[in-house]
C-alpha cells in the first residue's frame, strides 16, 4: 500500500503538490477550507523553471492553449520610451502568462474528484508514536497519513502550529491588480513594466483577449481607497503615462480591481518537524516582483515528490526536501524584494541612475531563460 500524504490547502501550491505526488505513485488527499475548489485573483506568469516541470507532468500543452506565450519583457519609462527589452523566446521551455483560475483548473482536472475534499477547515494535527500524523478539522472529522504538507497559504495553520504566529513585513508600497478586455496592446508576446517615481505599471496579456495589469505606489500600509474609488484613484495616479495604461484601467470592472499591501515573511531557518512540512506561500511567501510565487510552489512540489519517491522514511525525505528548497526560495525572496525596492525608487537622482544602470545591465543580458532563477531544473 502506498504512503498517504495529506495536503492542507487546495490553491495552486496544494494542487501542484498533489499532482506531483500522484504522478510519483503516492496516495494523496487534498483538504480545502473553502466550499469549492476555485482560485480567485488576476493574471500570473509562469517562467521556464515552472513550465519545464509542467511539461514533465504532461500539463504544459493545456497551459499554453489558454495562456499567452511571452517572447519579450519590455522595461519602459512613463513616456513609453524603452529602458530595455529582454528577449524571452530562447531556451528549452517557454514563458507564458495566464489567468490564475485557468492554471488552478488544469491542476485540479489532473486529479480525481475523490482526492479533493472541500469544506474541511484544518484546526490542528498530531503526530503519533507510530509515525503517522492525524489532521483534525473544524467539523470534528479527522484524516491520517504518513505525511502532512501545509500548503495553506500566507495565513497557514500548519505553519502557525509549527512556528507560532508571524507578522508579515510591509515593504512600503500598495499593489492594485485588474483584468481588462477589449484593449489592444502592442507587440505580440510582449509583456512590460513601466518604472516611474515611486510607481510602477505592468501589462501582461493572458490569453482569450484578456490583459492583466498591475500598478504600485509607495505609501503607508492599509491606506484606504480614494474618495472616487479604486479605479478613479489609479487613473489619477497614472495620469499622463503612455498608452494603453489609462485604457486598461478604464476597461476594468471597478468591482474586480484587487488591492493589497506588498508583504512577505522572512525566510524560516527550518520548515517542518517529524512527518510535517510546508510548501509554497505557507513556507516562503514572497513579493510578486519577479513573478515567482506560483513558480516556487511548483518547484517545491516537484522536489517534494522526488524526495518522497526516493526515500521510504517520510521524516528523512521531508528534511531532504527542505534542505533542497530553503536556500533557493530564500534567494528568490531576496531578489524579489531587491527588484521591488529598486523599482519603487522615488528620489529623482536615484530614479535617473536606476534607469541608466538598468539599461546598461539588462541590454547585456541576452536571454533571461539562462538567469539563475529561470534556468532551474529538477
Q: Is residue 175 part of a domain?
A: no
Q: Is the pLDDT of residue 365 over 60?
A: no
Report the first-to-last Cα separation within the chain, whole angstroms. Answer: 27
How many alpha carbons fall within 13 Å on the CB side of residue 117? Answer: 18
pLDDT attached to residue 5: 98
Q: What pLDDT, on a 0 to 100 scale, did the predictor assign at position 40? A: 76
**Environment class of residue 53 by beta-carbon count within 10 Å: exposed (0-12), middle (13-18) or buried (19+)?**
buried
Whole-number average pLDDT of the chain? 94
The answer to whether position 241 is within a domain reads: no
Q: How confident is the model at residue 362 (pLDDT cuts 50, 70, 90)?
A: low
Structural domain includes residue 324: yes
For 227, left (φ over 0), alpha (ψ -120 to 50), or beta? alpha
Residue 106: predicted pLDDT: 98
How many distinct structural domains can be found in the chain? 1
Residue 296: partners with Cβ closer than 8 Å, 6 or more residues away: 280, 284, 286, 328, 329, 332
Residue 104 forms part of a structural domain: yes
Asked if residue 336 belongs to a domain, the reply is yes
In a domain, 231, yes or no: no
Instruction: Please give the grid coordinates belonging to residue 283.
Output: 513556507
> Where is 230: in which H helix or E strand?
helix 230-237
Q: What is the pLDDT of residue 291?
A: 93
Instruction: Render pLDDT for 78-96 as a digit per residue (tens, 0 to 9).
Output: 999 999 888 886 678 999 9
Q: Where are the alpha helices (DSSP H) in 267-313?
A: 293-310
Instruction: Using alpha carbons, select from 126, 146, 164 the residue that is nearest to residue 318.
Output: 146
Secondary structure (3-state) at 148? strand
pLDDT band at 224 (very low <50, low <70, confident <90, very high): very high
Cα diameter, the chain: 65
**The whole model's pTM is what?**
0.95
| Cβ atoms within 10 Å of 220's Cβ, excluding its own | 10
Secondary structure of residue 257 in the 3-state scheme: coil
Do the domain assignments include residue 220? no
- Report the CATH number that the domain containing residue 38 is assigned in CATH: 3.50.50.60
Work out the pLDDT band at 369, boundaries 50, 70, 90: very low
pLDDT at 364: 53
The reply to whether 270 falls in a domain is yes
Once rounded to an integer, what is the mean pLDDT over residues 323-338? 96
pLDDT of residue 374: 85
Domain with 147 in it? 4-167+264-370
Query: What pLDDT does residue 359 have?
Result: 82
pLDDT above 80 (res 361)? no
Amino acid at each position: 500500500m502506498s504512503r498517504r500524504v495529506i495536503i492542507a490547502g487546495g490553491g495552486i501550491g496544494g494542487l501542484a503538490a498533489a499532482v506531483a505526488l500522484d504522478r510519483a505513485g503516492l496516495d494523496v488527499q487534498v483538504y480545502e477550507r473553502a466550499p469549492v475548489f476555485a482560485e480567485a485573483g488576476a493574471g500570473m506568469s509562469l517562467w521556464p523553471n515552472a513550465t519545464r516541470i509542467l511539461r514533465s507532468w504532461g500539463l504544459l500543452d493545456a497551459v499554453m492553449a489558454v495562456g499567452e506565450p511571452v517572447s519579450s519583457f519590455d522595461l519602459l519609462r512613463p513616456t513609453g520610451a524603452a529602458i530595455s527589452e529582454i528577449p524571452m523566446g530562447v531556451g528549452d521551455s517557454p514563458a507564458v502568462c495566464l489567468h490564475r483560475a485557468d492554471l488552478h483548473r488544469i491542476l485540479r482536472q489532473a486529479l480525481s474528484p475523490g482526492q479533493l475534499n472541500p469544506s474541511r477547515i484544518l484546526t490542528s494535527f498530531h503526530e503519533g508514536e507510530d509515525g503517522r500524523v492525524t489532521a483534525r478539522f473544524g467539523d470534528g472529522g479527522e484524516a491520517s497519513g504518513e505525511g502532512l504538507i501545509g500548503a495553506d497559504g500566507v495565513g497557514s495553520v500548519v505553519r502557525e502550529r509549527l512556528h507560532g504566529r508571524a507578522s508579515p513585513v510591509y515593504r512600503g508600497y500598495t499593489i492594485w491588480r485588474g483584468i481588462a478586455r477589449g484593449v489592444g496592446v502592442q507587440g505580440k508576446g510582449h509583456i512590460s513594466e513601466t518604472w516611474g517615481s515611486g510607481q510602477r505599471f505592468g501589462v501582461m496579456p493572458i490569453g482569450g483577449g484578456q490583459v492583466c495589469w498591475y500598478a504600485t505606489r509607495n505609501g503607508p500600509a492599509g491606506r484606504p481607497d480614494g474618495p472616487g474609488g479604486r479605479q478613479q484613484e489609479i487613473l489619477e495616479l497614472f495620469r499622463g503615462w503612455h498608452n494603453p495604461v489609462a485604457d486598461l484601467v478604464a476597461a476594468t470592472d471597478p468591482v474586480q480591481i484587487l488591492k493589497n499591501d506588498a508583504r512577505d515573511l522572512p525566510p524560516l531557518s527550518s520548515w517542518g518537524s517529524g512527518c510535517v512540512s510546508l510548501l509554497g506561500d505557507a513556507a516562503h511567501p514572497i513579493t510578486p516582483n519577479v513573478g515567482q510565487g506560483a513558480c516556487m510552489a511548483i518547484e517545491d512540489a516537484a522536489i517534494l515528490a522526488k524526495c518522497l519517491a526516493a526515500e521510504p522514511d517520510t521524516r528523512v525525505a521531508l528534511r531532504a526536501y527542505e534542505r533542497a528548497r530553503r536556500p533557493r526560495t530564500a534567494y528568490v525572496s531576496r531578489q524579489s524584494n531587491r527588484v521591488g525596492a529598486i523599482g519603487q525608487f522615488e528620489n529623482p537622482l536615484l530614479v535617473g541612475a536606476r534607469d541608466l544602470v538598468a539599461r546598461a545591465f539588462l541590454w547585456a543580458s541576452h536571454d533571461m531563460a539562462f538567469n539563475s532563477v529561470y534556468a532551474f531544473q529538477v
